[in-house]
Structure 1
Amino acid sequence: MLKLIRLEIKKHKMFGYVKAAFIANIMMIVLACILPIIDSIEGDSYFIDYKMMLIAIDTMVRGTFIVFSGVLIARLIIDEYKNKTMHLLFMYPIKRHTIMLAKLILISSFTFIAIVISNFIVTAAFYGINSFAHFITDTITMRIIAEQAVKVLFTALFSAGLGLIPLYFGMIKKSVSTTIVTAVLLVGVVGSDINGFSLFNVIIIPVTLAAIGFMVAYMSFKNIEKVDVN
């Protein structure tokens, strides 16, 4: 399995996605610094402490990499069905289940790891910049850090599952655009934050959606040995 995952990484040049994730991190750091400035100009009091900033950062990171997950599904799975290269893969003396599982593990692992690491990078960068720019005057405590670390781990896990939902819609018509649009819509509906409230904060919603995502992944290869590649 690990060998197949390494081959997928090499085949699809996954380090290019790592570079894209790094660029996305830079953009999120810039946005995180701009948010309290805009907040101050407009006379609002939303981004006045680290608790609210960490929520904003987590929301940005989560949304970004759920979309990334949709892009990876489109590239690693849907596009290969569409271009008939999946047929060639299934001709190899390797079970179809194993090939598909390797792809799904790679996609969900990338999503999970990217969300965890990016949360750390963006938060650390914002803290460093804020220490001399003073966007907010609040101080961050170990309790806040510990609570956020636990929250990030759970949201990353839920997002890894939720990010697999676009696979279902993409597989219906073998459409790359449908896969990516579905990921964007999911972020828009579930990930948007309105005055501190997000559907993602209602624990049953991300848990249910993550379960649906993992179920979609399971169904995608459950009967794959008996299904012809169209």
Structure 2
Amino acid sequence: MNLMRMELKKTNIKSYFFAASAIFICLLGLAYIFAWVPSLGTADPYAVELFSTYQGISAMGGAVGLMAFSALASAMGYRYVIREYSGANVILLFTYPVDRKSIVWAKIKLLLLFVSASILVCTFGSFIVFALTGYMFSLLDDNLQFIDIAIAYRNALVLACLADGITLCSLRIGFIKKSNSMTIISAILLSMLLVNMAADINQSFAIMFSLSSVIFVTGLLLTFNMVRKVERMEI
């Protein structure tokens, strides 16, 4: 915990808070756009059904949020984890009278805490704002019920776990070449492969929950491997 506090003091994450705030605003705006889709008279019955319910709109917002935060988290991970162990920065880090492994894990825990909190607040929070205004102004034909809010929160928790797993996997991939572009591109590609399933989370929750757990555990295993690499690094 002391190491995490030290990393937080050393790390300037204001720009990432601003980015997360921008994502929140975009997700909220998209929710209102999604609610407008049924009035366009589209011939696709699936689109009408998806965008005319609170659960459908929350699922779509979560899918978009997954992609956005996967990219943001991978960029943050490169800046505060991978780049710290490349070039002259690593010499300074290795002079600390602290176990190398502990420092790496403190950085990763701080990263995951930011990612999890951000995706929960932004995806679930934007849905709550939309749902309340939608209920007040009858933006949807659907009736807002407590189950809609509970499902949105449940889905946000699963997507936070999935985003954490994607972030950890992309960190390990980017660590191979200490590459920013490789880190971000791998996160975007992984999230693109999963975005359709994330949008369909209400119909396939068990599959999505299992997949999120597997990806998170895989990310942890890859992170353990990365930490061992750091321990064996020579200046």
- TM-score, normalization by structure 1: 0.88
Report the AA paired with residue 75 of structure 1.
Answer: R
Tell me, which stretches of 5 or more residues in structure 2 are unaligned?
none
Query: 1:224 maps to which residue?
Result: 230
CA shift, 1:146, in A, is: 2.1
Alignment partner of 1:125 out of 129, 132, 135 = 129
Report the AA paired with residue 7 of structure 1.
Answer: M
Q: How does 1:54-203 map to 2 (within 5 A)?
A: 54-192=58-196, 196=200, 201=205, 202-203=207-208
> 2:138 & 2:146 partners in 1: Cα distance?
20
> What secondary structure is seen at the aligned counterpart in 2 of 1:163?
helix
Query: 2:14 maps to which residue?
Result: 15
Equivalent residue pairs, number: 228
1:51 equivalent in alignment to 2:55: yes
> 1:149 & 1:124 partners in 2: Cα distance?
10
For the Cα contact (< 8 Å) 2:104–2:227, is it kept in 1? yes
> 2:231 & 2:178 partners in 1: Cα distance?
18
1:27 equivalent in alignment to 2:8: no
> What secondary structure is seen at the aligned counterpart in 2 of 1:164?
helix
- TM-score, normalization by structure 2: 0.86
Alignment partner of 2:218 out of 209, 212, 215 = 212
**Greater mean alpha carbon deviation, residues 107-116 or residues 137-146:** 137-146
Report the AA paired with residue 74 of structure 2.
Answer: G
Q: Whose helix fraction is larger, Structure 1's or Structure 2's?
A: 2
Residues 147/197 of structure 1: CA separation in 2 closer, same or farther (3 Å cut): closer
> What secondary structure is seen at the aligned counterpart in 1 of 2:200?
coil
Residues 185/91 of structure 1: CA separation in 2 closer, same or farther (3 Å cut): same
Identity of aligned residues (%): 25
Tell me, which stretches of 5 or more residues in structure 1 are unaligned?
none
Residues 39/181 of structure 1: CA separation in 2 closer, same or farther (3 Å cut): farther
RMSD: 2.4
> 2:160 & 2:84 partners in 1: Cα distance?
27
CA shift, 1:193, in A, is: 5.2
For the Cα contact (< 8 Å) 2:166–2:187, is it kept in 1? no
Report the AA paired with residue 220 of structure 2.
Answer: F
**Greater mean alpha carbon deviation, residues 4-13 or residues 105-114:** 4-13
> 1:125 & 1:195 partners in 2: Cα distance?
20
For the Cα contact (< 8 Å) 1:69–1:164, is it kept in 2? no
Residues 207/119 of structure 1: CA separation in 2 closer, same or farther (3 Å cut): same
Residues 197/152 of structure 1: CA separation in 2 closer, same or farther (3 Å cut): closer
Report the AA paired with residue 34 of structure 2.
Answer: L
> 1:137 & 1:7 partners in 2: Cα distance?
50
- Deviations 1:66-123 (CA, angstroms, capped at 9, x unpaired): 2222111111122223343122111111110111000110111111111111123211
> What secondary structure is seen at the aligned counterpart in 2 of 1:177?
helix
